[in-house]
Amino acid sequence: MGLSGVYGTADDAESARLLDQLLDLGVNFLDTADVYGDGHNERLISGLLAQRRDEVVLATKFGANKETGGGKPDYVRQAVDASLSRLGTDHIDLYYLHRLDKTTPIEETVGAMAELVETGKIKHIGLSEISAATLRRAHQVHPITAVQQEYSLFTRDPESELLPATRELGVSLVAYSPLGRGVLTFTSVSDVENLEARAKRYPRFEEESLQRNIELTRPLRERAEELGLTPAQLALAWLLAQGEDVLPIPGSRRLDRVEANIQAATTTLSPDLVAELSDRFPPGAAAGERYHPDGMSRLDR
């Protein structure tokens, strides 16, 4: 998402080089969506896929725009064809419903997605920002491979109901915004690029909340320094310690940060340290909601 100007200016040529280098570093899972840059992100990735499709596990999402009736079967079919065209490929490895369409039963949406599996346009079905109850209903129609949900030291909501359900059903949890949209890495408000735009989308970036949240991350920064890690590495290592079925997807426009994030995958934390961080960042600790009211109303909770 960050490669399509959401958090600040991104250069397509630099982004293309970054994507190519990711594969050389051993990263093979790319997670995009049709709504990122209104299709720009999928078109950007198409250049890499044209050269190295067999090396990529490709995920994309549809149905984020509430005006489209994004869960209706006819729209599901239209959306996948549009994504395949932008991506320049004949199949998507993991296809997510980005947001639940509350006007369409999940059984109908997943039924249409199951047809896409049968035709070979997609290999696996995913859901994003859904409740445990919705997951169970969907899974009865067709096996769900993954649920994408915001999950980090700052956002531990999945632990109460969703994560137990995914584990019961054998579903992976793909953790988006694993660094709290960057807040877990900031030392001051001046670190935040494109602050005004972020605050419009996310209440945790509004002035008072942001100040509180940056102060809240002080123990993470101090502990990371003691261990010779970056705060991002420590936050990602904590998330990876939650289980092999939890897959964080940190994003960055800079190769040096990507390389640092990758090192978190080889960082093993002691159970005591995992527990310490969990205690420092209990559920509900972050100041501000994840989204403004309109965004919150679209979450299936």
CATH code (residue 74): 3.20.20.100
Domain that holds residue 204: 184-246+255-301
Does 276 lie in the same domain as 140? no
Do 294 and 197 belong together in one domain?
A: yes
- For residues 23 and 138, membership in a common domain is answered with yes
Alpha-carbon gap, residue 97 to 130, rounded angstroms: 9
How much is the pLDDT for 67?
A: 67
| Distance, C-alpha 72 to centroid of its chain | 23
Task: Point out the domain boundary residue: 144, 175, 194.
Answer: 144
β partners of residue 148: 128, 174
Chain mean pLDDT for the chain: 94
Q: Are residues 41 and 134 in the same domain?
A: yes
Domain count, the chain: 2
Query: Could you tell me if 1 and 139 lie in one domain?
Result: yes
What pTM was estimated for this model as a whole?
0.94
Name the H helices within the chain.
12-24, 40-52, 73-87, 106-119, 132-141, 162-169, 195-201, 207-216, 218-227, 231-240, 255-263, 271-280, 293-297
Q: Would you state the pLDDT for residue 106?
A: 98
Dihedral sign from CA coordinates of 52, 58, 64, 68? positive
Shared-domain flag, residues 203 and 285: yes
What integer pLDDT is reported at residue 243 of this predicted model?
A: 96
- pLDDT of the residue at 68: 63
Asked if the structure places residue 168 within a domain, the reply is no
Q: Which of 94, 121, 144 is the last residue of a domain?
A: 144
Clarify whether residues 78 and 201 are in a common domain.
Answer: no
Is 291 marked active-site?
no
- Catalytic residue, chosen from 36, 96, 151, 202, is 36
Q: Return averaged pLDDT per consecutive 10 residues of the chain, 301 residues in all.
A: 81 92 93 95 96 97 82 96 98 98 96 98 98 98 98 96 98 97 91 86 93 94 95 96 96 88 92 96 94 91 84
Do 200 and 137 share a structural domain? no
